[in-house]
Amino acid sequence: MKKLVVLVLMLALVTVSTTLVFAGGQEEGGSDQPIKLGGVWPLSDITGEQGSKAAQQAVDEINAAGGVLGRQLELIILDSEFKPEKGAAAIERLATVENVDVFLGGMASSVHLGQIPILKKYKKLTVWTGAASHLAENAIGGDADWYFHLHPWDYQQGGSYVDGWEDIIGKYSDIKVDKWFLAYEEGPFGSASFESSKVLFSDMGDFDGESFKSAAAGGGDYKAVLQHAKESNPDIFLWAGYGADALPLLQQSKAIGFEPALYVGAPPGWPADFGSSSLAEDVFLYGMWAPAMNDINPVSKKFYDGFVEKFNVIPATYFAPLSYSAVYLIKEAIERAGSLDTEALITAMEQSKYKSALGETITFKPSKVIKHQGIEGQKILQWQNGRQEIIWPFEFSTGTPVYPFPGWENR
């Protein structure tokens, strides 16, 4: 009996403390209260860590300049932990405990799939920076006028790569791309890249590919797929995986002497010190932004300098300027709307024409399913002398391609 009493007391304690601890008791925002933005990112990953920090940087800049509608902005950051259930609970907390006015974030399609039913429940203005899977687009559906998606969907990314390589081949006649090989991580991100690329690049020559287990998912041995790629002798070798795969792939390529004429990587984020490795030199990559953008875009320079000053680290993922842009898009929309009324905010967001740190002027157009899609493509870049140069689109170009890939000697 004594045992049971202790157990019951303990359970009761946990229940009460849970309720009290998580109650929060946030009051509704009056005119003297800050405007609340609720952000959810995977904070243990560089994309989420730097994305959330860049969003905070934007909030601090806006507040330093006087805020919005005479009110300060407040960003509440929660960790999705890369888990759908945690990401969904975070949205619940932001909506019901923190009473945020706007949702923003995030990263990873599977996490977003778990969040979508909750987002649909509250229908608050949502500006999302990640989740590229078309499955997430289908789950959002065509009726969600409160939903604004910044990152290109997987099929849009694929389309932009086709456009990019066609333009590059057209401009640089010595570059030949007739035979493709795509090594892809076996998860949704890599598999989607392979399936869409196979269709999209079908008019541009032979296309072959093979999956590997990403180091991020406990893998890390790429020798078999690299050996098959070497035997295939492609003009262009692409890999679609995660940042953790970047250096091991290059090391193992060097180990087996695999030296394709074009070596292209397409992770969502690169390791922070990747450029300092001699193996990185002349590797192409897909991305939406690079510090080289600072040379041609004052918004990018402002973002970059501010980020380095505030956090004493270089932004190494395009999710940082993307999140920074999301906050400014929201700020401008609130100013245009003149209130926090969701309908007014949606109308104001639809009028967005924001010159972003990513180069593009962000506007919203319908994609295949949703009403409000922002950026529609990625960029093609190349590691040169330790930094990412933008090769394509040519309007943002900061360098010319080094071709062919010089191989591994003396590296």
For another protein, the binding residues in 67-86 under the rule CB under 8 A are: 77-79, 81, 83-86
116 binds another protein (CB under 8 A): yes
198 binds another protein (CB under 8 A): no
Write the DSSP string, 354-403: EE-TTSSEE--B--SS-S-B-----EEEEEETTEEEEEESGGG--S----
- Contact (Cβ atoms closer than 8 angstroms) between residue 140 and residue 128: no
97 vs 272, beta carbon nearer another protein? 97
Six-digit token pair at 275? 């450029």
199 binds another protein (CB under 8 A): no
133 vs 384, beta carbon nearer another protein? 133
Write the DSSP string, 319-348: HHHHHHHHHHHHHHHHHHHSS--HHHHHHH
271 binds another protein (CB under 8 A): no
Give the chain's length: 411
- The two counts, helices (H) then strands (E), for the chain are 12, 14
49 vs 389, beta carbon nearer another protein? 49
SS3 label, residue 72: coil
Cβ count near 145 (within 10 Å): 17
Q: How far is it, in rounded angstroms, from Cα 398 to Cα 407? A: 23
Least distance to another protein from the beta carbon of 124, Å?
Answer: 14
84 vs 275, beta carbon nearer another protein? 84
SS3 label, residue 116: helix
241 vs 260, beta carbon nearer another protein? 241
209 binds another protein (CB under 8 A): no
Number of residues that bind another protein (CB under 8 A): 60
246 binds another protein (CB under 8 A): no
314 binds another protein (CB under 8 A): no
7 binds another protein (CB under 8 A): yes
23 binds another protein (CB under 8 A): yes
Q: Which of 29, 120, 219, 355 binds another protein (CB under 8 A)?
A: 120
316 binds another protein (CB under 8 A): no
14 vs 308, beta carbon nearer another protein? 14
Angle between helices 109-122 and 188-200 in degrees, nearest 10: 100
Question: Which segment (4-12, 165-173, 364-372, 374-382) binds another protein by CB under 8 A?
Answer: 4-12
Six-digit token pair at 78? 């929660």
10 binds another protein (CB under 8 A): yes
Q: Which of 54, 73, 95, 340 binds another protein (CB under 8 A)?
A: 95
Q: How far is it, in rounded angstroms, from Cα 323 to Cα 340? A: 20
CA 92 vs CA 54, 144, 235, 305, 370: distances in Å: 23, 18, 49, 35, 23
Alpha helices, H only, 207-364: 223-232, 246-256, 298-311, 319-337, 342-350
25 binds another protein (CB under 8 A): no
Six-digit token pair at 185? 């991580």
For another protein, the binding residues in 154-193 under the rule CB under 8 A are: 186-188, 190-192
313 binds another protein (CB under 8 A): no
1 binds another protein (CB under 8 A): yes
Residues contributing to the site for another protein (CB under 8 A): 1-8, 10-12, 14-15, 17-19, 21-23, 43-44, 49, 52, 77-79, 81, 83-86, 88-89, 92-93, 95-97, 109-110, 113-114, 116-118, 120-121, 133-135, 138-139, 186-188, 190-192, 217-218
